């Protein structure tokens, strides 16, 4: 999430992101997240993870493996949501995560949940823009962004800040929706635009653009891994839930009992899968390393 408060457009973007998460809290909490893992991200299915809750946790394990997170590592969770990944990193790996977010309601939840789990001394949650944080340079071993970079209209700003924050040899890991590098028909462009609008996403970059952004900021050992097939079942699950709940949401919206933002979120849950089936976007994990350190980590 990007701080563009110097312009009216920036204020509107930040406001739309905050409204989106505030208005969709009930849907995510009741249909997707669980108290044991209050995460909003897609799950990663494999031979060992065939159920939703385990697949969601597997997303954290996958990113942690790619970034070689170890005990004691200080990890910046950029766009931390309600703290699900931070809790996992602290509890499972003994890392020291710091979550940043612009949505106050999510930060309030994360802090309360940290207290409940006995993690207040091992996690930290700050209201901050992940492209312009208050932290000193070289403060983190890992910068982690799980389905959060999409909210930034200028992804390169995130890569710049990530490089500043990482120690020499520090690792970057992101999991993100990336548009495919094809010429889309007008109908396909509209489908993607409708999906992004309903989820308060200003734009998506291609894999090439992400790699160029990382390279331009000085990262090395840049790798991109296609995990579309691992999350496809999660995308389908979201689509099915949206189809089931569509008419109830429509009626409640028309009756003034459900906001346009919440109803738009439900519609976009359908569009994302339809666009995925048409191969208009893919789900990819990018890992990179800041130069320096004592040797190869990734």
CA distance 65 to 171: 11
Give the SS3 label for residue 148.
coil
The CATH T-level fold of domain 8-183+202-229+281-289 is Rossmann fold (3.40.50)
Residues 218-243: what's their mean pLDDT? 96
Tens digits of per-residue pLDDT, 75-104? 999 999 999 999 999 999 999 999 999 999
Q: How many CB atoms lie within 10 A of CB 46?
A: 12
Give DSSP secondary structure letters for 233-282.
Answer: HHHHHHHHHHHHHHHHHHHHHHTTSS-HHHHHHHHHHHHHHHHHHTTSEE
Residue whose tokens read 């992400």: 210
Residue 9 has pLDDT above 80, yes or no: no
Q: Is residue 100 within 8 Å of 133, Cβ to Cβ?
A: yes
Residue 298 has pLDDT above 70, yes or no: no
Q: What residues act catalytically?
A: 147
Tens digits of per-residue pLDDT, 57-73? 999 999 999 999 999 99
β-sheet bridge partners, residue 225: 285
The pLDDT, as a whole number, for residue 7 is 36
Mean pLDDT of the chain: 92
The pLDDT, as a whole number, for residue 2 is 30
- Regarding pTM above 0.75, the answer is yes
CA distance 194 to 264: 9
CA distances from 29 to 8, 20, 69, 159, 280 (A): 31, 14, 28, 30, 28
Tens digits of per-residue pLDDT, 109-129? 999 999 999 999 999 999 999
The pLDDT, as a whole number, for residue 36 is 67
The pLDDT, as a whole number, for residue 294 is 61
Q: Which two tokens stand for residue 19?
A: 């409204």
CA distance 186 to 297: 44
Residue 296 has pLDDT above 50, yes or no: no
Using H for helix, E for strand and C for coil, what is the string for 50-113? CCHHHHHHHHHHHHHHHCCCCCCCEEEEECCCCCHHHHHHHHHHCCEEEEEECCHHHHHHHHHH
Residue with the larger pLDDT of the pair 289 and 2:
289
Residue whose tokens read 């909490």: 29
Q: Which two tokens stand for residue 1?
A: 């999430």
CA distance 276 to 270: 10
The pLDDT, as a whole number, for residue 1 is 35
The pLDDT, as a whole number, for residue 5 is 34
Domain ranges of the chain: 8-183+202-229+281-289
Residue 265 has pLDDT above 80, yes or no: yes
Residue 284's φ and ψ, nearest 5 degrees, are: -135, 155
Residues 162-173: what's their mean pLDDT? 98
Residue 191 has pLDDT above 70, yes or no: yes
Residues 250-254: what's their mean pLDDT? 96
Angle at 184 (CA atoms; ends 181, 187), nearest 5 degrees: 150
The pLDDT, as a whole number, for residue 297 is 55
């Amino acid at each position: 999430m990007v701080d563009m408060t110097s312009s009216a457009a920036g204020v509107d973007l930040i406001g739309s992101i905050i409204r989106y998460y505030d208005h969709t809290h009930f849907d995510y909490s009741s249909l997707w997240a669980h108290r044991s893992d209050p995460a909003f991200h897609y799950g990663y299915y494999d031979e060992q993870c065939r159920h939703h809750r385990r697949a969601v946790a597997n997303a954290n394990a996958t990113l942690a493996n790619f970034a070689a997170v170890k005990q004691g590592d200080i990890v910046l969770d950029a766009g931390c949501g309600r703290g699900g990944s931070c809790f996992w990193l602290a509890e499972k790996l003994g890392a020291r995560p710091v979550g940043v977010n612009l949505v106050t309601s999510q930060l309030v939840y994360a802090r309360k949940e940290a207290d409940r789990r006995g993690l207040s001394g091992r996690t930290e949650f700050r209201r901050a823009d992940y492209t312009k944080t208050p932290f000193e340079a070289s403060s983190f071993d890992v910068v982690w962004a799980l389905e959060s970079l999409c909210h930034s209209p200028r992804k390169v700003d995130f890569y710049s800040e990530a490089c500043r924050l990482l120690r020499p040899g520090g690792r970057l890991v992101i999991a993100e929706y990336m548009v495919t590098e094809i010429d889309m028909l007008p109908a396909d462009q509209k489908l993607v635009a409708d999906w992004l609008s309903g989820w308060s996403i200003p734009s998506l970059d291609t894999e090439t653009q992400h790699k160029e952004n990382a390279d331009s900021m000085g990262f090395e050992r840049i790798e991109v891994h296609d995990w579309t097939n691992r999350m496809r079942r999660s995308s389908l699950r979201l689509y099915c839930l949206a189809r089931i709940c569509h008419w109830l949401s429509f009626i409640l919206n028309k009756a003034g009992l459900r906001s346009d933002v919440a109803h738009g979120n439900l519609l976009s849950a359908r569009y994302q899968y339809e666009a995925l089936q048409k191969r208009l976007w893919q789900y990819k994990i990018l890992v990179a390393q800041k130069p320096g350190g004592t040797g190869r980590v990734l």
